[in-house]
Amino acid sequence: MYMENYILTDISPLPIQSLVKEAQILFSQLTVSHVIIVDNGKFIGLLSETDALCFDADKPLSYYSYALERIFVSEQTLWLDALETFSKNKSNILPVLNANEDYLGYYELNDIIGLFSSTPFFSEPGHLLVIEKAHVDFSFSELTQIIESNGGEVLGLFMSRLESGIIQLVLKISLKELNAILQGLRQYDYAVKSVHNEDDHINKLKDRAAYLDRYLNI
C-alpha cells in the first residue's frame, strides 16, 4: 500500500539558518517529537525536542547541524516500512523525500497506525491467537497447513516477541470452530498462550482440576 495521499504539509519545515528559539517555539505549540530542517528545499535532518531545549536559543540551527538526524522515507515507501521507521526512531513525524532528496512533506504516526487498523487483521471478524514455538522449529508453511487443513484461513500474522530462542506470534484466523485448530497446533508443539472458551483441552484440564479438588476435600 503506497501512501502518497497521506503526505502532509501543514507544518512548515525550518530553514537551517533559523535560530534555535524558533524550533523551541514550534515545540511549545505542537505535539511533535521532532521538527524538520531544510536548506533551499533539501532535507537536512530532524531536530529532536530534547536537543532543542538543551541548545542556546540565540544560536542558528546550523551551529548544531551535527545533532540533526537523517531520518526519512521516500515517496515510494510502503506503509509497513514507514511504521518500522517510526518505531525504530521513536518519532511521531517522518519526512518524505523524492529521489533527489527534495522535501515533499511528512507522515504523521497516527495516520500510519490508522492504515494498520484498517487492514483485514483488525477489520475482518475472526479469532486472535497467541502462540509460541522454538524459533529453529518454526515453519510458516507448517503453521498455515495446520490452520487450513482444519477449515481455517489466515487473515494476518506478526511476530510479537523473539526471546531465548522462542518465537511468539499473534495470529488472526477466520473460521467458526476453533477447537480443532487449537488441538492441531498443540500436536505440532505450538504452545497456545491465549485463552479461548472453545478450547476443549483447557476445559478438560479445568474439569479434572475441579474433580481432584472435590476428591481431596471428601
- Per DSSP, the residues of the chain read ---GGG-B-SSPPEETTSBHHHHHHHHHH---SEEEEEETTEEEEEEEHHHHHHS-TTSBGGGGGGG-B---EETT--HHHHHHHHHHHT-SEEEEE-TT-BEEEEEEHHHHHHHHHTSHHHHS--EEEEEEEEGGG--HHHHHHHHHHTT-EEEEEEEEEEETTEEEEEEEEE-S--HHHHHHHHHTT-EE-S--TT-HHHHHHHHHHHHHHHHHT-
Residue limits of CATH 3.10.580.10 in the chain: 4-116
- Rounded to an integer, the average pLDDT of 188-199 is 80
- Rounded to an integer, the average pLDDT of 29-50 is 95
Cα 185 versus chain centre, distance: 26
| Least confident stretch, 47-61, 159-173, 187-201 | 187-201
Beta bridge partners of residue 170, listed in sequence order:
130, 158
Residue limits of CATH 3.30.70.260 in the chain: 120-196
Q: Quick one: pLDDT at residue 206?
A: 43
Q: Quick one: pLDDT at residue 126?
A: 83
- Given a cut of 80, whether residue 30 has pLDDT beyond it is yes
Mean pLDDT, rounded, of the chain: 86
pLDDT band (50, 70, 90) for residue 119:
confident
- Rounded to an integer, the average pLDDT of 111-122 is 80
The CATH class for the domain spanning 4-116 reads alpha beta
The CATH class for the domain spanning 120-196 reads alpha beta
Q: Quick one: pLDDT at residue 198?
A: 58
212 burial class (0-12, 13-18, 19+ CB within 10 angstroms)? exposed
Cα-Cα-Cα-Cα torsion 26, 29, 30, 36, nearest 10 degrees, comes to: -10
